[in-house]
Every structure is written in structure tokens, then in C-alpha cells.
Structure 1
């Protein structure tokens, strides 16, 4: 029996171009080449590749804090699999935690195989991991600084809700004139006492939950942009 386990993971950063679907396909092909009789999957989705080596101990987003990774380590040590495969080594870890997994695999007699080549030279590997870790840390800091910059200036942060869009500078929310008539209609019908379901049926292009999001979740964003003579504005006053 040839038992194989694969790790599927995509970095949370936008620079990561190896899609989860692509990883599932190419690791399945590699497993077949290895003659796998069974294929287990550790699918981490969009997860940070850094462990306690680079993150705070109370950060639950750490790679080594993931239950699936802990199960992987236990299984490797117990000799559950013949091969551990991934698209490349960075799918497994982007810092020294890779050596933890390597050691667990060594204890359990599991061989690591990758779809893409990884550095054989240990110094090259070490340098590559350090550079990637520092680059990732800088990206995170830049992202945090950008978010704080927007908040300090009162810019909207996040995806614009239905009926609104960013202005030409990408800073403030303005009416999306293609969708805004629906917003006005939703509040008009609500003022007439219609239920969310009835409003959805009346308009026909928005779901019941969508109506709820407009009336409850983003109410203030809409009310401040409705014309002063709109019934929802006058009743709020």
C-alpha cells in the first residue's frame, strides 16, 4: 500500500498566484505518479504560512495553531503515510516550521515530494525562507499602514455595499446610479409597511436577505444620501 497525504494552501497575500484548484489538480497527478492507493488531503485554504517562529503565541492564525496541521504532524510521526506532497515547499510552511514537519516525516519514514522544484542547497533554502519571511512581514505592515491612513482621513474601508461605489479617487462612497433607484424603492416600500419578502417580490431583482442588508446593516449609509424629501428621511427626522 502506498499512502499519500497532500497539503493544499494559498497564501493570504495577493502575490500568490498558485490557485487552490491548480494545487488540487497537480498534487493529484503527482499522487498518481507515485502510485498512491490512498490520498488524504490537508486543505488549509487561504492561511498564513507563518508559525510561532514569526507570530505571537496568542495569534490563532498561526500555521502551527491550525488543528489540521497538528493532525498532520501526529500522523507523520506515527508513520501514517509514505509520502507528503504539495505544489512546493512554501505550501507547507514559509519559515523554520518547515523543519518541524521535515523532522516529523523523518521520524515516521515519510518522504517529501513536490510538484515544483525546491532548493536542494540548505543555505539557499535558508536564505530563501528568510527573504520570503521579511518580504511577507513588510507586506503586512504596509497593508496595516494603508488601512490606518484611510481611517485617519475618514475614507471608507472595505467593499462598497450595494447601491454605492467609490468616488474617482477611491476614497469616499457615492451613489451607484445604476443601483441607487433600487435603494430608494426599498426604503419607500418599507415606509409603506411592506415586509422584507414583499419588498423583494415587488422589486424582483433583490433577495429578501438583500433587502434586510439595506434596511438594517447599512441603513445610515443610505439614509444620509437619500433626498431630503424621501419618506424614509422625513420619518427618521
Structure 2
């Protein structure tokens, strides 16, 4: 029975949750009678097989150890975030004789130089498309900034106005709860006490307090 490891990560444009990726990997290895040693998970912390990521480093070390037969991932987008990483990874897999399997497409025949080259060229094409997409997104954000519009996901308690230009209090959402949380903190409550009372996580409460003046001004003006 083949000894394999799995790898999961959540890219910015991913619609496949980490838990679903793990489930797919387990289903695939069970179906193909593979012995799944463990799944290395970079979760939401990374957008690819990035050398700075601890779980990636562990998985890559296992590939280079020669102790495993295959790596199983959900889809080819999990392999690497860009052309350079994909090329390095494919060279590692070929050098150490480790197979690459995806839940969506099955085994990738990287032992065939032509197929390996196809995968690299595809990664190069996707990398260029991604670079253009990122540049367009940056230009769109800069255009909004130049016009004085808000951009990005509205903070908790806010929503975009009907024209999609400015953040305004979400009176049907959590804005009033956020105001109550601010008043609790100003009255001496700890973030943990706020969490117990209003179910707002301490990290979120910290971000709220960083925007305290924005919330209070919006309350007066909106």
C-alpha cells in the first residue's frame, strides 16, 4: 500500500474549504488504497507552496526524504502559487520519484517530461493571468481611493451605501452591538467580558477599538 501525505491550503479565490479539501483527500486515498500518513495544512495563512510556510516546509522535506510514495491534494491550484514554485516542486517530485495526485484529476504524470513541461507551461500561463488580475484590482482600489470612496470589506457593523461608495452604519446588522461593546470597554470591561456578553472575539474587539472614533462619529452622523 502506497504511503502518502496530503496538503491543503486556502487561496484567496478558493471556493473549497479546508475541511472539504481534507475530506476529498481522505476519500481519494481510501478509494485508491493509499495509506494516508497525515495532511499538512497551511490553512488560510498562505496562498501557495511558499518556502516561508512551516507546513509547506515539512511537506517538502517529506518529498525530499524519499520516504513517501505520493502527495495528494484537492486540485492543481494547491500545488504552488506561481510559476517558479511550480517548477521547483515538479523538479523535486521527479527527482525523488514521488507521485502527485489530485482529487479532481487523479494522478499527474510528472514522470513524462512532456507532461511535466505542460504542467509548468500551464502554471506560467496562470501566473501571468493572476499578475494581470492583481494589477487590475490594484488599479480599481487606487481609483476608489482617488475619488475618496471606501474600499475593501466593510468593518463589522458597517455596510456599503446604496451607491457602493461609502461605509455606513448597518442599522439592521451589528452596528448597535458594536457601539454597546465600545461603551462596555470604556466603562472598564475587558475584551473577554465583552466576548462573554456580546459574542465579539477579543481580536475583533481590538480592531473595533482601533476604529473607535469612526464608529462614534458614524453614530452621530448616521
Which category describes the TM-score, using the shorter chain as reference length? Answer: 0.7 to 0.9
Counterpart for residue 8 of structure 2: 8
SS in 1 for 2:149: coil
Relative distance call for 1:108 and 1:148 in structure 2 (3 A) is same
Match of 2:91 among 100, 103, 106: 103
TM-score relative to the length of structure 1 = 0.69
Query: When the two structures are aligned, how many residues end up with a matched partner?
Result: 208
Structure 1 residues 220-235: aligned runs within 5 Å: 220-227=213-220
Asked if the contact 2:181–2:198 (Cα under 8 Å) also holds between the matched residues in 1, the reply is no
Distance 2:10 2:179 in 1: 41
Distance 2:101 2:204 in 1: 50
CA drift of 1:156 comes to: 2.2
Counterpart for residue 74 of structure 1: 61
Determine whether 1:153 maps to 2:153. no
Asked if the contact 2:161–2:168 (Cα under 8 Å) also holds between the matched residues in 1, the reply is yes
Counterpart for residue 44 of structure 1: 42
TM-score relative to the length of structure 2 = 0.73
Match of 1:83 among 50, 70, 88: 70
CA drift of 1:182 comes to: 5.0
SS in 2 for 1:169: coil
Deviations 1:160-218 (A, max 9, x none): 3344322111211223333555566667788xx84336xx78xx656595996598322
CA drift of 1:136 comes to: 0.8
Structure showing greater radius of gyration is 1
Give ranges in structure 2 of 5+ residues lacking alignment: none
Distance 1:176 1:214 in 2: 17
Distance 1:3 1:105 in 2: 15
The alignment's C-alpha RMSD in Å is 3.5
Distance 2:201 2:94 in 1: 55
SS in 1 for 2:9: strand
Counterpart for residue 189 of structure 2: 196
Deviations 1:91-121 (A, max 9, x none): 1124243332233233333222222227765
Counterpart for residue 15 of structure 2: 17
CA drift of 1:143 comes to: 1.8
Distance 1:119 1:2 in 2: 16
